[in-house]
Amino acid sequence: QSVLTQPPSVSGAPGQRVTISCTGSSSNIGAGYDVHWYQQLPVTAPKLLIYGNSNRPSGVPDRFSGSKSGTSASLAITGLQAEDEADYYCQSYDSSLSGWVFGGGTKLTVL
């Protein structure tokens, strides 16, 4: 049972927009800790996709965007491409656990 809750799966056709939610609590996202997102392509290590709720590292396409409100955060992907098919994880910090916490991951399928 992950501390941050994500939908197990989402899907969309090429060119469409999808969103992935990440729900936390008052000891992590709701406490003001930033949310970061990682993309894990099949059989590879995770890669930082969004940091500080809504910022993209250099090289990440602007099709990827993030937002945060209250105890939740969201990752949006527009103009879906086949290469976006991957697992996506949100991550934050939890003050009750004094440590880093991840979501359960969301598998994105491009139809």
Partner 1 sequence: QITLKESGRTLVKPTQTLTLTCTFSGFSLSTSGVGVGWIRQPPGKALEWLALIYWNDDKRYSPSLKIRLTITKDTSKNQVVLTMTDMDPVDTATYYCAAHVGYSGYALFDYWGQGTLVTVSS
Q: Does 64 contact partner 1 by CB under 8 A?
A: no
Quickly count: other Cβ atoms within 10 Å of residue 98's Cβ.
8
What is the Cα–Cα distance from 70 to 48, expressed in whole angstroms?
22
* Assigned token pair, 31: 């406490």
CA neighbours within 13 Å on the CB side: how many for 19? Answer: 9
Shortest distance, CB of residue 96 to partner 1, whole angstroms? Answer: 9
Q: Are the C-beta atoms of residues 101 and 2 closer than 8 Å to each other?
A: yes
Shortest distance, CB of residue 41 to partner 1, whole angstroms? Answer: 12
Stretch that binds partner 1, among 18-26, 38-46, 59-67, 71-79 (CB under 8 A): 38-46
Shortest distance, CB of residue 73 to partner 1, whole angstroms? Answer: 13
Q: Does 93 contact partner 1 by CB under 8 A?
A: yes
Q: Does 47 contact partner 1 by CB under 8 A?
A: yes
CA neighbours within 13 Å on the CB side: how many for 60? Answer: 19
Stretch that binds partner 1, among 10-18, 19-27, 44-52, 62-70 (CB under 8 A): 44-52
Shortest distance, CB of residue 16 to partner 1, whole angstroms? Answer: 25
What is the Cα–Cα distance from 23 to 3, expressed in whole angstroms?
9
* Residues making contact with partner 1 (CB under 8 A): 2, 33-34, 36, 38, 44-48, 51-52, 57, 89, 91-93, 97-105
